[in-house]
Amino acid sequence: MQTLATQDYIVFLLYFILIVGYGWWIYKRKQKEQTSTKDYFLAEGSLTWWAIGASLIASNISAEQFIGMSGSGFKMGLAIATYEWMAAFTLILVAVFFIPVYAKNKIFTMPQFLNQRYNGKVAMIMAVFWLLLYVLVNLTSILYLGALAISSISGLNLTLCMIFLAIFAVMITLGGMKVIGFTDVIQVFFLILGGLVTTYLALNLVAEKFGMTGIVNGFSLMREHANDHFHMIFDKSNPNFIDLPGLSVLIGGMLIINLNYWGCNQYITQRALGADVKTARNGILFAAFLKLLMPVIVVLPGIAAFVLYQKGGFQAEMLQDGSVNPDKAYPTLLNLLPTGLKGLSFAALTAAIVASLAGKANSIATIFSLDVYAKAIDKYADEKKLVFIGKLTIIISMIIAVIVAPFLGIDKKGGFQYIQEYTGFVSPGVFAMFILGFFWKKTTPNAALFAMIGGFLMSIIFKFMPEFVDLSFLHSAGFSVPNSVGIYEIPFVDRMGFVFAICVIGMYFISIYETNKGIQTQGLEVDASMFKTSTGFMIGSIIIIGILAALYTVFW
């Protein structure tokens, strides 16, 4: 069993004291303002652009990236980085088109948008669904995967690791969004520094395996000995096409996954909703730059582990129940770090997990307090009571996650796949409901309900259709591929694209029919001037898009 040395625990303890101490200092400075719901949940007007950008990344990057994406790097290579690099492009779209709409219409929560744009029925259904999804899918998977990773590195009991992570996250979250936002800056520093240390070690190990030294040589050797792991776009013959189907990762379902996640997700947009448009945009642009860096930290170590495994390394460490488990790649590399640096990487991994837990718990508290409790349970609750209810919600949701996480089979599915599969059942319908609600004033509440409920049902139908219908006739067009048992399936990313298209078409005809019958709609305030950006933002966006074009060209 692996354990940390005393020096590693000292490094980790210093990180813990720094985070908690800094969070406590911010909390005491702002304690008088904590009776305001907008200040507590949104840190209204307090977060700088760099705090918003850092918080977005800290909330997004967690165990499923460090463990799951490194595992996918081991299995399929650099192509999995499309989730990160396409997110950089998506963040620019969100900054330009989504944030001004939220700001102009004074929208602070996603259910509030649905209530304002459609009606209370649509908003309440989605609020309850989001709460269930956030607690039973996102919070549990982050907590359980994080505990698994920390347990494998430290040798500590899994349940003890879960409890520690939950308590640590609650300590940060109870301070409100200000504490989360500013402590996330330190969390991101540890996350990136520790991640780069692990990548440096991995590339050096590859070089040493071939009798050379240096990370440049290591990277060149990886490209030489695992050339098939450096292609961003797969063709139909690639066994991983079912996970990342060709050009769909650029112009299809991957855009829907990212736009829904970054633009219609309380967990993410909450970081920017309390700021003015210029500050929010600059923070999101900063997050987009950081996104370009993420594959270096979470994907390259997995490819390095693959090369080392192919050359006879990690033969025992990578096995689980007699077969190779790609998710063991990152923890295996961490256990090779020298004393002290291992503590730093351990702190980086913990930082990623705790920041994500804190962000998710704060979003759960925001939606429950403002959109469920204040609307359906106690309509006369004052600001102070709503903040108290929010804090209570944080504690209760974390306790639920600790209790139920071990029983959900998260480790058997793979954390990244677990989250994508269950959120992917609703993402197309939710995104259709948002995007038409933003930009087409004729969209009706019943059309939104069709997308919400119909999109979910269609996703299930597409998922299980191959069990009853032979879809091999779609193979020549690239829309179906055989799975591990030879049954032709529509790749997950393409399924999302199809469901989104059906939802938009259905919403269009329902809305046209109902508006012709005299149904009135509540369009948002939107005008072209809202989408103008500053020169600095435009230059930054062009640089990011140029880097992305170069990366996809080189690694096509």
What are the pLDDT digits (tens) for 129-150? 888 888 888 888 888 878 877 8
- The superfamily CATH assigns to domain 6-25+41-414+537-554 is Sodium/glucose cotransporter (1.20.1730.10)
CB proximity list for 401: less than 8 A, separation 6 or greater = 135, 139, 140, 143, 166
Is residue 175 a contact partner of residue 362, using CB atoms and an 8 Å limit? no
Question: DSSP string covering 109-127, please?
Answer: SHHHHHHHHT-HHHHHHHH
Task: Give the pLDDT score at 321.
Answer: 64
% helix, strand, coil for the chain, step of 5? 75, 0, 20
pLDDT score recorded for residue 1 = 46
- CA-CA distance, 301 to 201, in Å (whole number)? 9
- Considering the entire predicted model, what is its pTM? 0.83
Distances (CA, A) of 145 to 64, 159, 371, 554: 7, 12, 29, 33
Instruction: Give the three-state DSSP class for 312.
Output: coil
The partner residues of 323 in beta bridges, in order of sequence, read: 320
Residue boundaries of the structural domains of the chain? 6-25+41-414+537-554, 425-525
Instruction: Quick: pLDDT tens for 51-109.
Output: 888 878 877 777 677 777 888 888 888 999 998 999 999 999 999 998 888 888 888 77
Low-confidence ranges of the chain (pLDDT < 50): 1
> Cα dist. 476→273, 422, 462, 467 in Å?
45, 28, 19, 20
CB 366 within 8 A of CB 372: no
> Shortest CA distance to 140 belongs to which of 329, 451, 397, 378?
397
d(CA 25, CA 17): 12
CA atoms within a 13 Å half-sphere pointing along the CA-CB vector of 47: 40
Residues 6+ positions from 52 with CB-CB distance below 8 Å: 181, 271, 272, 275, 279, 280, 282, 283, 284, 286, 287
Q: Which of 71, 140, 150, 148 is nearest to 348 (CA)?
A: 150
d(CA 110, CA 367): 8
Instruction: Report residue 89 CA to chain centroid gap.
Output: 15
Q: Name residue 124's amino acid.
A: M
**What is the per-residue pLDDT for 510?**
94
Q: In angstroms, rounded to a whole number, what is the distance separating the alpha carbons of residues 68 and 141?
A: 11
Distances (CA, A) of 62 to 91, 294, 297, 298, 424: 18, 11, 12, 10, 19
